[in-house]
Amino acid sequence: MMLINGESQSHILISDRGFQYGDGLFETIEVFNGRLLFIEQHLKRLTVSCEKLRIPPPNPQQLLDEAQSLIQNSDNAVLKIIITRGSGGRGYKMPEVIQPTRVLSLHPFPEYPLAFQQGVRVIFCQQRLGLNPILAGLKHLNRLEQILARAEWHTADIQEGLLLDLNGFCIEGTMSNVFFVKNTVLYTPTLHQAGVAGIMRDFVLQTAAALEIKVVQGQFLPEQFYAADELFLSNSVIGIWPIKQLEQTFFPHGKLTQQLQHQLAQFKQQVIADEN
């Protein structure tokens, strides 16, 4: 199911700058029990990101209305929102009049094994992330680094790959943010130079603050991840996945990770309760 500029269709113009140059942004939102999780946070990030890229932001209520029309018969699914700068002539120059394209599409929720909630296997990728403080944090359409990184493994026993930046600091996974725990302190990479500031990452940070868990954001080398007491990944679809194996190093399903998973599960149960 798909809506393009509010109309049910499945094609965009070849001249659209999202197709031509990756000139746009996207959000991936979990539909849980027929409700869009963290929708306010997703729409806020989309608006702020559009402003940074000089794309006129979409009307949040219009997006919400269109999203609700797509999910009205869905319990659990994934909604993707794409905003591009719209059509323009050949060349990088922005059109003088920008008419953004908005695309909303609904997809089946991935059938992840329940075992992933107990731990997944992860590797470090050879592909490096470039440094760009202007684009850092944004979920823009230029995902070639992640595509090349994801091509580095082909076996089903590996669920994610971690990416370093050009200076050798670990930034994120190909589709996730990454955290580690050492001596009850929660650590996660800063995203000032590269990476995506995930909505679930924000949930983890806010939840940790509410639980009075000390959080440190900084630049961390692979050796610090190997020396961690526990590791986990987060994104809006997978939620929180513990890392049970990083390369050849094994980790427990740690207490702090379980605590954060429990808080996320409680949040989802409250969503169900609010609907009833």
- Decide if pLDDT at 175 tops 70: yes
38 vs 273, residue with greater confidence: 38
Question: Which of 223, 221, 275, 269 lies closest to 249, judged by CA?
Answer: 223
| 84 catalytically annotated | no
Cα 226 to Cα 221: distance, rounded to the nearest angstrom: 9
How does pLDDT run across 72-120, given as a tens digit for each residue?
988 899 999 999 999 987 889 999 899 999 999 999 999 999 889 999 9
DSSP assignment of 105-159: EEEEPP---GGGGT-EEEEEEEEEEPP-TTTTB--BS--HHHHHHHTT---TT--
Pick from 59-63, 91-95, 133-137, 164-168: least confident: 91-95
Q: According to the model, what pLDDT value does residue 52 have? A: 95
> Which of the four pLDDT bands, split at 50, 70 and 90, describes residue 253?
very high
- Decide if pLDDT at 269 tops 90: no
Question: How is residue 254 written in tokens?
Answer: 């740690």
3-state secondary structure 203-253: HHHHHHHHCCCCEEEECECHHHHHCCCEEEEEECCCEEEEEEEECCEECCC
Catalytic choice (28, 84, 188, 257): 28
Q: Average pLDDT in the 194-208 region? A: 97
Pick from 39-53, 85-99, 178-192, 262-276: least confident: 262-276
Q: According to the model, what pLDDT value does residue 271 have? A: 78
- Decide if pLDDT at 228 tops 80: yes
Catalytic choice (30, 66, 160, 172): 172
Q: According to the model, what pLDDT value does residue 105 have? A: 97
| 80 catalytically annotated | no
Cα 231 to Cα 85: distance, rounded to the nearest angstrom: 38
- CB neighbour list of residue 273: distance below 8 Å, 6 or more residues apart: none
Catalytic choice (47, 52, 80, 139): 139
Cα 37 to Cα 40: distance, rounded to the nearest angstrom: 8
| 66 catalytically annotated | no
Please, what is the angle between helix 255-275 and helix 199-210, to 10°? 100
Per the document, the length of the chain is 276
Cα 217 to Cα 188: distance, rounded to the nearest angstrom: 5
- Decide if pLDDT at 180 tops 80: yes
Q: Which residue has the tokens 């999910």?
A: 71
> Which of the four pLDDT bands, split at 50, 70 and 90, describes residue 272?
confident
> Which of the four pLDDT bands, split at 50, 70 and 90, describes residue 276?
low
Q: According to the model, what pLDDT value does residue 172 have? A: 98
What domains can you pick out in the chain, each with its CATH number? 2-108 (3.30.470.10), 114-271 (3.20.10.10)
Q: Average pLDDT in the 222-232 region? A: 98
How does pLDDT run across 40-52, given as a tens digit for each residue?
999 999 999 999 9
